[in-house]
Amino acid sequence: MIRNSRKESLIAYALIAPFVAIYGLIFIYPTIDMFILSFQDAPLIGSGDWVGSDNYTRLGRDRRFGTAAWNTAYFVALSVLPGTLVALGIALGVSRLSGRLQALVLALFFLPYILPVSVVFRLWDWTLNFQFGIAMHLFDWVGIDRVPIFKVTAWFMPAVAFVTIWWTCGFSILLFLAGLRAIPQEIYEAAALDNTSRWRTFRRITWPLLWPVTALVLTIQLILQLKIFDQVYLFSQGGRPNDNLVMVYYIFQRAFVNDHGGRAAAIAVVLFFVVIIVSVLNFQLMRFAERRQ
């Protein structure tokens, strides 16, 4: 076939132009603007004075920034790895089922994922309600003293992490399940003929062959959970928002509560680089581990 490559590339440019235009307008331009804003002492709307790196150097002395950074790291530790393990466990269980039963059970596990965060908040706010919550009856029954979970700092992050895992692990389960289905049945049959015990089959066959999916799930979760905001914001209502600060929440406070556009932008830039560095590092480490196996 004779192809006119000049004409083809013209058509190609024409076809991607609308996307590039919109992407530039609502992503590239605001991002660049945010970088510029982070060097200014500016309100959220309107211009400000150039202050150099002041907004950044202040962060070192900012106690609330310290709390936000610590809480975010704590939340990531509580949600990413445990969430991935829970999803893997459930996916392994679901993959043993077959036919309609598997579809049904998978749908049940996936159901929370389609709920909006406000519904998730309502559900768990009621479940864990100090006076009426079902969970408190469970506490009574086991013999633990009732706790106003979202009002106590020690309980807050673990509880939010738990709810987040419940809410989002459906998607990870789906990814793991796809990964499990991609492993040919014949390999398990060969392993059965090779006298492989159940644990060794998992350890030496399933786990290594599932590693690329695990790396993907971990990276997606890491990026997602570093940006935690909604759940913390909602569950903090009437509680102690300043103790429960996370990075995005703090950006929100600075920008929309205190009208400190410049300082908010500086925190956002820091978070931006943290997400990039952590996720790239994570993905590279995973690939390195894969190659070494």
In whole angstroms, give the CA distance from residue 247 to residue 267.
8
Task: Identify which of residues 58 and 181 has a Cβ nearer to other proteins in the complex.
Answer: 181
Show the DSSP H helices in 182-246 as ranges: 185-193, 198-201, 207-226, 230-236
Least CB distance from residue 193 to other proteins, whole Å? 5
The answer to the question of residue 98 lying near other proteins (CB under 8 A) is no
Task: Identify which of residues 6 and 198 has a Cβ nearer to other proteins in the complex.
Answer: 198
Q: Which of 194, 203, 237, 285 binds other proteins (CB under 8 A)?
A: 194
Backbone angles phi, psi at 52, to 5 degrees: 65, -135
Q: Which of 14, 45, 142, 193 binds other proteins (CB under 8 A)?
A: 193
Q: Which of 12, 190, 276, 289 binds other proteins (CB under 8 A)?
A: 190
The letter for the amino acid at 90 is I
Task: Identify which of residues 5 and 98 has a Cβ nearer to other proteins in the complex.
Answer: 98
The answer to the question of residue 287 lying near other proteins (CB under 8 A) is no
To which residue do tokens 């013209």 refer? 10
Task: Identify which of residues 151 and 204 has a Cβ nearer to other proteins in the complex.
Answer: 204
The answer to the question of residue 2 lying near other proteins (CB under 8 A) is no
To which residue do tokens 């706790």 refer? 147
The count of C-alpha atoms lying within 13 angstroms of the C-alpha of 205, restricted to the half-sphere facing its C-beta, is: 21
Interface mask toward other proteins for 201-240; x: CB under 8 A: ---xx--xx-------------------------------
The answer to the question of residue 257 lying near other proteins (CB under 8 A) is no
Of residues 28 through 57, those in contact with other proteins by CB under 8 A are: none
The count of C-alpha atoms lying within 13 angstroms of the C-alpha of 288, restricted to the half-sphere facing its C-beta, is: 6
Task: Identify which of residues 178 and 192 has a Cβ nearer to other proteins in the complex.
Answer: 192
The answer to the question of residue 195 lying near other proteins (CB under 8 A) is yes
Task: Identify which of residues 129 and 196 has a Cβ nearer to other proteins in the complex.
Answer: 196
Q: Is 27 exposed, middle or buried (0-12, 13-18, 19+ CB in 10 A)?
A: exposed
Judge contact between 176 and 89, C-beta under 8 A: no
Least CB distance from residue 212 to other proteins, whole Å? 10
Find the part of the chain contacting other proteins (CB under 8 A) among 47-55, 70-78, 149-157, 187-195. Answer: 187-195
Query: What are 230's two structure tokens?
Result: 């909604």
In the DSSP assignment, the letter for residue 149 is G
In whole angstroms, give the CA distance from residue 256 to residue 215.
36
Task: Identify which of residues 212 and 239 has a Cβ nearer to other proteins in the complex.
Answer: 212
In whole angstroms, give the CA distance from residue 210 to residue 122.
36
At 152, is the secondary structure helix, strand, or coil? coil
Residues that bind other proteins (CB under 8 A): 184, 186-187, 189-197, 200, 204-205, 208-209, 293
